[in-house]
Every structure is written in structure tokens, then in C-alpha cells.
Amino acid sequence: MSRIGHDDSFLYTSLATYLGKKLVVLLGDGRHRLGLLRSFDQFASIVLEGACERVIVGDLYCDIPLGLNIIRRENVVLLGEMDMEKEELPSHMTAVSTVEIKRAQKAERDATYLKGSMKNIMEFLGID
Amino acid sequence: LFFSYFKDLVGREVTVELKNDLAIRGTLHSVDQYLNIKLENTRVVDQDKYPHMLSVRNCFIRGSVVRYVQLPPEEVDIELLHDATRREAR
């Protein structure tokens, strides 16, 4: 903090404006967490309250792993301030249970894997 | 050098592409020594592919996840940039 000069103070990217706000946190492995920002440090490690993980596979799923999470700085990709008036999700999405969403995720993963392996086979055989 | 460069770009509309292929358009609000970026009036470039961010209007992007920042070309003063870079290199 001492490295920041006097005239830099206006441009210091502070997370203080997000304290107590509902945030969308994008994690390094592509997962999404929503929650209230309770605390942060200079390297952007954060404390999230009421954390829930939102998995989207065409449908919506909201899980609640832990009420209070500490997310280490290296895993934080993006913090987005959620506007309460705006739509959280496109209206065509529906909520499903944990089991179903896991099944849908697995199906999607298998489909991508299959597509990938088929492509490899085709390339190997020289088929266009 | 880039910190001061971004400081001059505050208020401009930029598109930030992240390492996970997410592209976000917004107005540069602030930047810090780690090149973390705060954007306002955020919108995702390809909205339908990334529905999670629909209600996000301001965001904070960690510097280490930025792949590149797309700037409007009229904002770039090439001579100034060249001179500053030469000065830095010395």
C-alpha cells in the first residue's frame, strides 16, 4: 500500500465500494459463486457470505455449499456487482434439483468428450 | 509504464478479453498497480454464451486473468507511446 503515490489515490482500485453488496464471483476453474462481500485484502482474497454456486447447463441450479466462504486470491478471476433490479437470469431458465443438474453436466461433458474423440479419429483416418 | 498508460485511458470504452475466453465490454473506471481493472456499464460481448453475468453492471477484473484489452484506435497516441517506451527501456 505504501507504494501507491499520493496522486494515485483516486485511481486505486478499491473493493470497498463492493462491501455488503451481492457479487458474482468467477473462479479460476470456471465456476460461479454468488454472495455478499464481507471482506477483502490487498490481493483480492475475499470473504463471501451466503455463498451459493450456480451451475448452468441450460437450466438453473442453485446450491449452498457453505454460508461463509473464504476464497483465496489466486482463484478469483472476476467480481461482478449484481444489480438487484435487473434480471438475474434469462427468463427461459428453470430451477432443477442437485441430482438432475449433475446428470446434465455429466451428459454435456460426455458429449464434448465424444465430439473430441470422434474428431481425433477422423483426423487420424484423414477423413474431412 | 502500463499503469500510467491505463490511467490516461480512464473513462474510455474498452473490451477486456480474459484467459477463459470471456470478453467483456465496459467503461474503464479505474486501474491499479497490479493492472486490476474496474469496469462500469459492463456487458458481456456474447451474452447468450455466458448467462451468469446478465445483471452485472460493474465489475472488478483481476489483472492476472486478462489476456488482452481492446482499445479504440483513436485513443492511442503512437508517438507518445514510443517515446515513453524508449524512456522506460533506458
State the pTM of this model. Answer: 0.73
Per-residue pLDDT at A64: 67
Helix, strand or coil, per DSSP, at residue A46 = strand
DSSP A67: S
In a domain, A113, yes or no: no
Element (H, E) at B23: strand B23-31
In a domain, A59, yes or no: yes
**CATH code, A54:** 2.30.30.100
Per-residue pLDDT at A120: 85
Distance CA(A88)–CA(A78), nearest Å, equals 17
B42 neighbourhood in chain A, CB within 8 Å: 80
Cβ–Cβ below 8 Å for A81 and B33? no
Distance CA(A122)–CA(A111), nearest Å, equals 16
What is the rounded (10 degree) CA torsion for A1, A79, A77, A53? 130
Q: What is the mean pLDDT of residues A18-29?
A: 86
Cβ proximity of B18 and B61 under 8 Å:
yes
Q: Residues A88-127: pLDDT tens digits?
A: 555 555 566 666 667 777 777 888 888 888 888 888 888 6
Task: Note whether B37 contacts A: Cβ–Cβ < 8 A.
Answer: yes
Distance CA(B87)–CA(B90), nearest Å, equals 6
The domain tally of chain A equals 1
Task: Note whether B53 contacts A: Cβ–Cβ < 8 A.
Answer: yes
- Regions of chain B where pLDDT drops below 70: 47-51
Phi-psi category of residue A20: left, alpha or beta, with phi > 0 → left and psi -120 to 50 → alpha: left
Per-residue pLDDT at A87: 56
Per-residue pLDDT at A97: 63
Distance of CA A52 to the CA centre of its chain: 10
Fill in the amino acid letter for A74.
Answer: E
Residue A9 has pLDDT above 70, yes or no: no
Q: Residues B47-59: pLDDT tens digits?
A: 656 667 777 888 8
Per-residue pLDDT at B71: 83
Residue A1 has pLDDT above 50, yes or no: no
**CATH code, B66:** 2.30.30.100
Q: Which domain holds residue B81?
A: 1-89
In a domain, A118, yes or no: no
Sequence-distant contacts of B39-45: CB under 8 A, at least 24 apart: B39/B14, B42/A80, B45/B15
Task: Note whether B66 contacts A: Cβ–Cβ < 8 A.
Answer: no
Cβ proximity of A69 and A51 under 8 Å:
yes
Across the A/B interface, how many CB contacts are shorter than 8 Å?
A: 84
In a domain, A109, yes or no: no
ipTM score of complex = 0.74
The domain tally of chain B equals 1
Element (H, E) at A93: none
Q: Which domain holds residue A27?
A: 8-96
B8 neighbourhood in chain A, CB within 8 Å: none
